[in-house]
Structure 1
Amino acid sequence: MEELDLTTREGRFKHFGSVEPVKGTKPTEKAEMADLQNSKKDFLFAVESVGINNLSYPVVIGDFQSVGNFELATSLRREEKGVNMSRLLEALETENRNGVRLDFATLEQVLKVLRDRMRQENAEVTADGKWYFSKPSPGTNLHGMAHADVKYSLALDEGGLTRKQFGMTAMVTTLCPCSKEISEYSAHNQRGYVKVLIDVDPGADLPENHKEIVYELLEINASSQLYPILKRTDEKMVTERAYENPRFVEDLIRLIAYDIAELDWVKGFELECRNEESIHQHDAFSRMKHQK
């Protein structure tokens, strides 16, 4: 048995079972390697989307760096076996400036690079991230960092954009109208979640502050807003506003839908409101779709 020097890393590795590399027979130079993805024959079906998802990648949303979750894909012709997955990330890297700016203009450029490098008719990208922004308390005007989740989704073919969507999920306060009506005093309230996915009109001018516009519409229709910092005078304002504006989830979704439908750059939307009920073990929700 070979005597091993356990004072060296090589010796310790062998002691724990590591072995020498096997001398292979397959090529090591790229030019000599088989390229299975580029095989050409009848593979039975064209594929609508193939790519990568659950990709964590640094992004810039508004004024702050954040973390995005990406899905990148292209179509695949019937006569082609596969796509070169590394090119998906290479296309994203072309817009990396200490993070990819999460907006429509940047992601459309990624798609154009992707479709060109993959030599496919269609390409698509969806990216989610947490948007951070400074928000003042309602009375004392003390600023703290608030956040909402945003989504951008684009699809592109040879004729241009076929999908352009903006989504947001924000947290609000809701106070139960029924509880207020039947109780001698007080009313139960809870944190609510409002989620909207908007079909953006590709031909319309999208306001630069579209995130702020949508966030305000989600919040203003709720019983009250959430704030990162509240002093006692602020807390009094927040709780009293909630009491003055009771909302069922059905009320909330209808009020928000009206305001979203009024935006001239919106073609349609999906909307969901969900309350984490404070006096039940279940949640309450309402959901709707609308096309203009």
Structure 2
Amino acid sequence: MNIHDRDPDREEVEHALATLRRWAQTAPEEELAGLEPPLARLVPGAELSNGPALRRAYPEEFTVDEAYKATLPDLQNGPSSLIRGAKQAIQHVGISNFRLPIRFHTRDDGDLTLETSVTGTVSLEAEKKGINMSRIMRSFYGHAERAFSFEVIDSALDAYKRDLDSFDARIMMRFSFPVLRPSLRSGLEGYQYYDIALELVEQDGVRKKIMHVDYVYSSTCPCSLELAEHARQVRGQMATPHAQRSVARVSVLLADGAECLWFEDLIDMCRDAVPTETQVMVKREDEQAFAELNAANPIFVEDAARLFCEGLRNDARISDFRVVASHQESLHSHDAVSVLVEGPTFANESLDPQLFATLIHRG
């Protein structure tokens, strides 16, 4: 029967498939290997591949030379025709949260090595496909052995800006900075940890050095304190004012040419402005002292922002600044928040939708 002048029906196809599989059971391996890929897929147990047989073992002995590297594809440095979407400049592109140990110098002339999370980004021109992100890490690692300061971050920024041929660039380093704190009355000591971020931003040829610190404190509601006292004095009723753990994120732009603003300096400024910092080591006498300290310093969230502002304004090393405060209410199911900005650096009409949600004290 000749089926070449018409389409085969299902019965004929099934018969041909059965014939192929019977043949495959006794055919030599070299003949099976020579089958066209579409036919090979129909043979039970045959390799389902559209290409040559590939080795599966990792080649420990293989080494890369310059000639081989020259053959490797590099899509990110390809022509603009490879761009997907709009040919639009990107303000920030890079990597976030690569971590490494960094040595920081302290105000008392010591050194601390701290796990540091680094974010590095550059601008990308509209006609460029992308960047080689590993260059940011390589540039940063080239400076990682030095005790870090803004001068060292300057050098790291220069390096990866040059490597990536970009106009604008940014580095942010986040870490938790320990300071030994005494208790209020018992003489015990414990480490308080402060979330700090250093930011170096270059835009349109201008570099800005920014420091952020999260300060955790207790806020006793002045209104609640007065109401509790009223109940005691007028009705002889014991009552307690509500207080809550609160967080302020203080961000400062360092003034050009100013003396060094140490991490400890900014932390001390926060402690002076709002002295009810949460405690580390506490015995009964310390707990009583903390109750007295809170009663002496009741504070609304508006007060907190303005008290921090007062201290920041009085330091010539600080230019623009922003205070974001969150009092995580024990009375309400919501938080009380405030944002105070001085200068254009931190002025934004729009706020990050998750801004206040990040103001928490992580255990």
TM-score band (shorter)?
0.7 to 0.9
Q: What residue number does 2:240 align with?
A: 186
SS in 2 for 1:258: helix
Matched with 2:255 is 201
The aligned amino acid for 1:166 is: M
* Aligned equivalents of 1:131, 1:202: Cα separation in 2: 25
Structure 2 alignment gaps of length 5 or more: 1-24, 26-48, 57-63, 233-238, 345-363
Structure-2 change in CA distance of 1:21 and 1:188 (3 Å):
farther
CA deviations on 1:201-250 (whole Å, 9 max, x unpaired) are 2332223xx21122122223336122211222222222101111111111
Secondary structure in 2 matching 1:156:
strand
Report the alpha carbon displacement of residue 80 of structure 1 after superposing the two structures with TM.
2.7
Q: 1:69 to 1:163 in 2, by over 3 A?
A: same
Q: Percent identity?
A: 25
Are 1:81 and 2:112 an aligned pair? Answer: no
Pick from 110, 113, 119 the counterpart of residue 165 of structure 2.
Answer: 119
Structure ranking higher on relative contact order (CA contacts 8 Å, 6+ apart): 1
Say which of 7, 30, 47 aligns to 2:69: 30
Pick closer, same or farther for the CA change 1:89–1:21 going to 2, 3 Å.
farther
Deviation at 1:102, TM superposition (A): 5.0
Residue type of the alignment partner of 1:87: R
Deviating 4+ runs (over 6 angstroms): none
Name the CA distance, whole Å, in 2 between partners of 1:223 and 1:247: 11
CA change 1:282–1:101 in 2 (3 A) is: farther
Deviations 1:28-58 (A, max 9, x none): 8211122222234476333322211132333
Q: 1:225 to 1:49 in 2, by over 3 A?
A: closer
Q: Which amino acid aligns with 1:237?
A: A
**RMSD in angstroms over aligned alpha carbons?**
2.7
Residue 300 (structure 2) pairs with residue 257 (structure 1): no
Question: Which of 139, 149, 163 matches 1:103?
Answer: 149
Please list every run of 5 or more consecutive structure 1 residues that lacks an aligned counterpart in the other structure. Answer: 2-18
Deviation at 1:173, TM superposition (A): 1.1
AA paired with 1:272?
Answer: V
Q: Which amino acid aligns with 2:90?
A: V
1:85 maps to amino acid: M
Superposed counterparts of 1:27-66, under 5 Å: 29-41=68-80, 44-61=87-104, 62=106, 63-66=111-114
The aligned residue for residue 168 of structure 1 is 213
Q: Deviations over 1:88-107 (max 9, x none)?
A: 1101111223xx75532222
d(CA) in 1 for partners of 2:94 and 2:301? Answer: 37
DSSP-derived class of the 2:197 partner: strand
The structure with the largest strand share of the pair is 1
Is this contact kept in 1: 2:219–2:243, CA < 8 A?
yes
Q: Which amino acid aligns with 2:137?
A: L
Change (3 A) 1:173 1:21: farther
Equivalent pair of 2:273/2:311 in contact (CA under 8 Å): no
Q: How does 1:13-28 map to 2 (within 5 A)?
A: 22=54
2:325 to 273, 288, 292: 273
Q: Which moved more, 1:71-80 or 1:42-51?
A: 42-51
Q: Secondary structure at the match of 2:293?
A: helix
Task: From the superposition, tell whether residues 22 and 48 of structure 1 become closer, same or farther in structure 2 (CA, over 3 Å).
Answer: same
> d(CA) in 1 for partners of 2:297 and 2:306?
14
Q: Tell me the CA shift for residue 81 of structure 1.
A: 2.0
CA distance in 2, matches of 1:60, 1:278: 39
Deviation, 1:186, is 3.2
In the alignment, the residues of structure 1 paired with residue 133 and residue 186 of structure 2 have an alpha-carbon distance, to the nearest angstrom, of: 52
Give the deviation of 1:23 after TM superposition.
5.8
More helix by share: 2
**In 1: Cα distance, 2:288 partner to 2:149 partner:** 37
1:227 matched to 2:304:
no
> Per the alignment, in what secondary structure is the counterpart of residue 316 of structure 2?
coil
2:340 corresponds to: 288
Greater CA radius of gyration, 1 or 2? 2
Give the direction of change, closer, same or farther, for the CA distance of 1:47–1:186 in structure 2 (3 Å limit).
closer
